[in-house]
A and B are shown apart, each in its own frame.
Chain A
Amino acid sequence: MSSKAAPVPAAAPAAQEETPFRRFVAQFAEDRIAVAGLLVFTLIVLAALLAPWITPQNPYSLAKLDLMDSRLPPGSKAGDGFTMMLGSDGFGRDIFSAIFYGLRISLAVGAISCLIAATVGMTVGLIAAYAGGRVENLIMRLVDLQLSLPAILLALILVSMFGKGVDKIIIALVLVQWAYYARTVRGSALVERGKDYVEAARCLGLSHARIVFRHILPNCLAPIIVVATVQTAHSISLEATLSFLGVGLAQTEPSLGVLISNGFQYMLSGKYWISFFPGLALLVTIVSINLVGDRLRDVLNPRLEK
């Protein structure tokens, strides 16, 4: 119900003096922790992208793994001669390499699912706001229904029905997330729709699609960006949780969640590194995204401006 929906953040009509972007950057940079978060996140993304060139081992190639290298503590030498800085897991995977490759999968799952969910959500939300009436009513009922069920439960059931795999988990994550975007976009778009420039565009006889996508949408982007950062962190964490519960991704090409889950069984026997370092990587990733998201929310949401 709209009555329980959190107050919808209004779109941010950026100030006019300087370019809005510059002002945004300056405001964002005021918070040093957020800048640090952004820096760390950029490094993480770079590391994930460059994984094949900067890691000593391809942890997904069976021919490169040797069972004899399994469960070595950090700093040990592998059979192939390189040093396993963070030790190895139960299959002889170098944890350092596995984290970089795992980041690739975790980030990709998070980013792709967010991208699709945002696209779907935006389209649906815009249609609702622009069309109004019955269409809007129907769409928003659907959104409410979706949001009334917790993501973890829905994702758990969907993934266990779809089966394991990157594609399946992305579908499940999209299905549990699109509604957040739809709700946000509709809220902002409703505000925009009432503004004069939309009226003017209508009078000029521009097509609906052009008005919606070229004029309304750009003005709704700020809140979408905030939601997207939060949701990316959320979906990375959700994927890790599902993998931990044994319904997420496959064992052979582990994401961070699978690595942690695999290491989970070694925690008590003192082989902390198998689970600890991937856990740390996951934590740093999510924290850095959340720090950025937090700052974005402050900057893009004029209600909280000092």
Chain B
Amino acid sequence: MLAFILRRAGQGLLVILAMVVIVFFGVNVVGDPVWILVSPDMTQDQIAEVSRSLGLDRPIWEQFFHFVGGILQGDLGRSFVHGTPAIRLILDRMPATIELALVALFLAVILGIPLGLFAGLKPDHPLSRGVMAVSILGFSLPTFWVGLMLIMVFAVMLGWLPATGRGDLGSFFGITTSLVTLDGWSHILMPAFNLALLKISLVIRLARAGTREVSLQDYIKFARAKGLSRSRIIGVHVLKNILIPIVTVLGLEFGSLVAFSVVTETIFAWPGMGKLLLEAIQRLDRPVIVAYVIIVVVLFVVINLIVDILYSLLDPRVRLSGAPA
């Protein structure tokens, strides 16, 4: 087990290194960040001074080694734009993104499982066909387009939900979150649904496929023959068995929710780390992009690791080793 974790950590480090190199030199190719930062009425000498104070006048490889040296001391550098440590900027906004991703995950489960279960149990029912059609639509609809439509309908035309931003924050066992206030929920519903759309379709499909496979198994037939109530068969035996793959996949998908929040956060002005990343890209705020990549990769490695370990616990047939199966 330990060897497995170590190997994983090593892989994560490799990804981080590769991404950091790409971003570091990539930003340099895109342009000199100094020109976005300075105000237009500064003279060339003043601009050169800013460049010097940010260390941008040094050759790129020298900046890189300086940066790597910083990392080794736990310093990911300061945002060019904000002047504050990049890592703090991101960690400050991480709770908002995690909150959004969690609610999206929750929506995916409570909407996706019942629909998928139904479609799986009655594959020929017209409603089931409808559900499957909707799930194809859910896979196909571009997220940004749906986001705008949601705002148009629910915020502008009907006026039910606020269009943008995060609601009032409350405190719950020391965790600051908007999920404990009514205002918070009214703000999070639309962006979370938007983000969840793809995952809802995914869960519908997993649940349907799982249900169809499970209902043909002998123990379900046996349970029926034994005269167990229909709701008990579905609620206990079917659900329990389709849940394992769904939970596993959703665990892995959590990371992709965090990544996809770049789109949703931009449309709904949700103050999370995805919006920060896009802004950092637009402003060539290299330290923030690099720090984001590092944090997200670490997040992914950890999530994948947890899922793998949980999976091996749930399904004893899976052995954790570093070698390919």
Chain A residues near B (Cβ < 8 Å): 1-4, 33, 136-137, 140-141, 144-145, 148-150, 152-153, 156-158, 160-163, 233, 237, 240-241, 244-247, 257, 260, 264, 267-268, 275, 279, 282-283, 286-287, 290-291, 294, 304
The 8 Å CB contact of A4, one of B144, B209, B308, is B308
Cβ-closest chain A residue relative to B301: A148
For B27, the chain A residues whose CB sits under 8 A away are 161
Interface of A is mostly: helix
Interface string of B272-311 (1 = CB under 8 A from A): 0000011001100000010001001100110010011001
Chain B residues near A (Cβ < 8 Å): 11, 14-15, 19, 22-23, 26-27, 29-30, 133, 136-137, 139-145, 148, 152, 156, 209, 248, 252, 255-256, 259-260, 262-263, 266, 277-278, 281-282, 289, 293, 296-297, 300-301, 304, 307-308, 311-312, 318-320, 323-325
Distance between A243 CB and nearest chain B CB, rounded to angstroms: 10
Asked if B256 and A241 sit within 8 Å, CB to CB, the answer is no
A43 to B195, CA, bound (A): 31
For B144, the chain A residues whose CB sits under 8 A away are 240-241, 244-245, 260, 264
Distance between A4 CB and nearest chain B CB, rounded to angstroms: 6
- In the complex with contacts A145-B11, A152-B263, A161-B22, A246-B311 CB distance below 8 A: no
Most buried by B among A150, A282, A283, A290: A150
Cβ-closest chain B residue relative to A238: B142
The 8 Å CB contact of A153, one of B14, B22, B156, B296, is B296
Cβ-closest chain A residue relative to B145: A279
For A148, the chain B residues whose CB sits under 8 A away are 15, 255, 300-301, 304
Cβ-closest chain A residue relative to B156: A268
The 8 Å CB contact of A161, one of B29, B140, B148, B263, is B29
Distance between A187 CB and nearest chain B CB, rounded to angstroms: 10
Beyond A149-B300, A244-B144, 8 additional contacts (C-beta under 8 Å) are: A1-B320, A157-B19, A157-B26, A158-B22, A161-B30, A163-B29, A264-B148, A290-B140
Asked if B281 and A3 sit within 8 Å, CB to CB, the answer is no
What would 26 A/B residue contacts be, using CB atoms closer than 8 Å? A2-B325, A4-B311, A136-B324, A137-B323, A145-B11, A148-B300, A150-B255, A150-B260, A152-B263, A157-B289, A161-B23, A162-B26, A237-B142, A240-B144, A241-B143, A245-B263, A260-B142, A267-B148, A279-B145, A283-B137, A286-B141, A286-B142, A287-B137, A291-B136, A294-B136, A304-B209
Distance between A132 CB and nearest chain B CB, rounded to angstroms: 9
Asked if B262 and A267 sit within 8 Å, CB to CB, the answer is no
A237 to B139, CA, bound (A): 10
For B143, the chain A residues whose CB sits under 8 A away are 241
- In the complex with contacts A2-B324, A241-B144, A246-B282 CB distance below 8 A: yes
The 8 Å CB contact of B281, one of A137, A247, A275, is A247
Asked if B301 and A152 sit within 8 Å, CB to CB, the answer is no
Asked if A137 and B252 sit within 8 Å, CB to CB, the answer is no
For B319, the chain A residues whose CB sits under 8 A away are 3
Asked if A140 and B266 sit within 8 Å, CB to CB, the answer is no
For B133, the chain A residues whose CB sits under 8 A away are 33
Cβ-closest chain A residue relative to B281: A160
For B209, the chain A residues whose CB sits under 8 A away are 304
